[in-house]
Amino acid sequence: MSEKEVDKPELPAQDAEATTGDNSAPDFVTPAPTVITRTENKPPVWMWIGLGVLTITALLVIFVLPTLVQEYELPLERRVATTQPAPAAPAPAAAAISPFEEAQRAIQRKEAQDVLAELLEHQAELERLEVGSWAADRYEAALEQASVGDEYYRTQDFQSATSAYAAVRDELLALLNSESDVLASILAEAQQALADEDSTRAEERFSLALVFDPDNEAAQIGLQRARTLDEVRALIARAEAEAEDGDLPAALASFREAESLDAYNELIPQRVAAINAQIRSNEFNRIMSSGYALLEQGQPQEAIAAFERAANMGVNEEQARAAIVQTETQVANAEIAIARQHITEAEATEQWQQAVTHYDTVLGIDANLTFAIQGRDYAAKRAQLDRLLVEAIDNPERFAEDAVYQQTVDVYFTGRAIENPGPRLQGQLDELQVLLENSQVPRTVTLVSDNLTEVTVLREAELGLFQQTTLSLKPGNYVAIGRRAGYREVREEFTVGFGQTPEQVVVRCVERVATSR
């Protein structure tokens, strides 16, 4: 149905006269009811009832029906009052119809108008939904069908008009009922336009979706994105160019600006992440390079610190850790090499305790090194032997004690059992041999007293009172004790042998002890 037909409706001639309410010159004459003669003088009751119904119907058609239909005019709009109603065209002569038929026609007219009213409501809603932008062909086809109903209405074929209007009404209702599917389709088209970077169509489609559902979040977001699409595209292009030129901070800033305009763009976060990763990778490479430079400069600990910083960046951590291990290995190997050099020197000079210390350094670096484990054990035993030999040689006087002598002999023979003893050990063993031999040759010792002092040589003999006496003693340390009543006890220590034997040992108590009264 065209807009022209809606603005200038044309009513059938009979309806035009009916709506004017002018009953003075109708185009049809209501025939008088047919009277059926009967043999009786008085008509039957049903006849009077029928005449009464027909009369009431005729009155309704003449006086009530015009007020019911004057609200509408054809084809699809409400009647609009005008200041100067157009003169009714002269109606052609019509065949006379009965009041009953006129009443039936009025009812059919009312049904057609009711259906038409529903049709108009659906049409108004569809116009609000801008149906022409999503179902134009179907909508126009429906309006064409409505004009068919108009033709039926003008010819007062109200039943056909009702059927035609009902079909159009149902079709328009079907369009309305497809609103959710249409909305989904419009949103899909809008999203596709957005993906195709067609900002104009995307904005138009999202705007239409909001006509259907003003609160639709997807449409609201999409419309905002469509409005900033061109600016976002320009920012992304600029960012990509900056990244291509190697200006990563500037590219990152451009992407961030684009992201502030379109937080739902899926590309931007990916590119931001990629550029951040590239920035971190560049920084990682810079730190690693500095670490290797420090390593070449002989600063391994500083190099390891640089590699640790690189490993903590979360980029190529395995590479950084490998560099740390490699550097630590190099450092360890260097430290082990230095320690082994010290070990060699210490063992060559028979400084066995120093060798043990250097072996401990190696094992602190790598506790699984076999040479260090075995070497330390041997060096520790040699260091212990060296200590025992030094102690024995420095204290030969202790050989006078049988237990000490026997222990020293065992040490001596342990040393003699070592192959390639070295000059230090050889010298120690030779010296100890002489000391051991001499420790078993008794020496004569002269002791002098005053014949008043009781003299005892500890662990050797109780000599008693004497003026002078001699004892035969093996080399060693001895103690002589002198006791005399009323006098303070005396204690004389002396060494026999080893070039320390005294000419005489004097043991006399000469200091009186003061008595208390």
> What angle is formed at CA 40 by the lines to CA 38 and CA 46, rounded to 5 degrees?
70
The confidence score (pLDDT) of residue 23 equals: 36
Q: pLDDT value at position 293?
A: 92
Per-residue tokens: 79: 């009647």
Cα–Cα distance, 221 to 392 (Å, whole number): 98
- Please name the residue ranges forming H helices in 297-421: 300-311, 317-348, 352-365, 370-394, 402-416
What SS3 state is found at 313?
coil
Cβ–Cβ under 8 Å, residues 405 and 399: yes
**Would you state the pLDDT for residue 33?**
33
Quick one: pLDDT at residue 517?
52
Q: What is the pTM of this model?
A: 0.45
Give Cβ neighbours of residue 321 (< 8 Å, ≥ 6 apart): 307, 311
Among 415, 357, 356, 418, which residue's Cα sits nearest to residue 386? 415
Q: What pLDDT is stored for residue 8 in this prediction? A: 34
Sheet (strand 505-506) strand order: 468-473, 443-448, 505-506
Summarised one tens digit per residue, pLDDT across range 129-142 is 787 777 788 788 88
CB-based contacts of 515, cutoff 8 Å, min separation 6: 486
Ranges of H-type helices in 34-135: 45-59, 65-69, 99-128
Predicted local distance difference test score (pLDDT) of residue 44? 57
Model pLDDT, residue 381: 93
Beta bridge partners of 277: none
The pLDDT of residue 476? 85
Q: What is the CA radius of gyration of the chain?
A: 66
Q: What is the pLDDT along the chain (517 residues), one digit of tens a residue?
A: 333 333 333 333 334 333 333 333 333 333 333 333 333 444 555 555 655 655 665 555 445 444 444 444 444 444 444 344 444 444 444 456 788 888 888 898 888 889 889 889 888 888 887 877 777 887 888 888 888 888 888 988 888 889 888 989 888 888 777 667 777 877 888 888 888 888 888 888 788 877 777 888 888 888 888 888 888 889 999 998 998 888 889 998 998 988 888 888 888 899 998 988 888 888 899 998 999 898 889 888 899 999 899 888 888 888 888 998 888 888 888 889 999 999 999 999 999 999 999 999 999 988 998 999 999 999 999 999 999 999 999 888 788 788 898 999 999 999 999 988 899 999 999 998 988 888 888 889 999 999 999 999 998 899 999 999 999 998 888 999 999 999 999 999 998 887 888 999 999 999 998 765 5
At 46 the pLDDT is 53
Q: What is the pLDDT of residue 464?
A: 93
**Sequence-ordered list of residues with C-beta below 8 angstroms from that of 360, at least 6 positions apart, any chain:** 376
